[in-house]
Amino acid sequence: MDGRRITLTILVAGVLDILSAFFFAGMNGGTPIRVLSAIASGPFGAMEASAASAALGLAIHFAIMTLMVAAYAFAVDRAPGPFRRIGPIVAGIGYGLALYLFMYWVVLPLRWPSLHPLIDAGQIAKAVFAHVVCVGLPIAFMIGPKSAPAAKTAEA
């Protein structure tokens, strides 16, 4: 797999995902520094919102996105033929939903058991949107699987 394509995919999906987080947080009065500081608090515990914790949060965000892209690239390279034929739309939606389920029903509840899993329909819709539209679909379109070529018709 081409390293430049992987890097570009990490950047595109990472930027779309973090911008969606900023947007949804902003709807509730949050700020980008608070969002990024909250990301940093995942592995390091509670952090005061500051430029330093925001920078750390951004680095962690892109490290996580690197893992998400790498896992997809690894899987798609080894996928059997039927998976390769489903195309990027179905693959991206499926991968985005899988990422949402893993993040919101495994990772976040392990870190913040009193806050997760979220059961508010609006919060779930925002999280699913971000993981499908901003992460899963861009990754699938930029990395694959590519749709199978159309069947050749026999000439008479």
Give 50-103 pLDDT, tens digit per residue: 999 999 999 999 999 999 999 999 988 887 777 777 889 999 999 999 999 999
Mean pLDDT of 1-13: 91
CA separation for the pair 85, 96 (Å, rounded): 18
- Inside any domain, residue 154: no
Task: Enter the DSSP assignment of 114.
Answer: T
Q: For 114-124, what is each residue's pLDDT tens digit?
A: 777 778 899 89
- Inside any domain, residue 90: yes
The pTM for the full model equals 0.85
- Inside any domain, residue 148: no
Length of the chain, in residues: 156
Provide the sign of the torsion angle of the four alpha carbons 108, 38, 97, 75, taken in this order: negative
CA separation for the pair 30, 11 (Å, rounded): 23
Contact assessment for residue 89 and residue 137, using Cβ atoms and an 8 Å cutoff: yes
- Inside any domain, residue 156: no
Q: What is the total count of domains within the chain?
A: 1
Domain residues for the domain of 17 are: 3-143
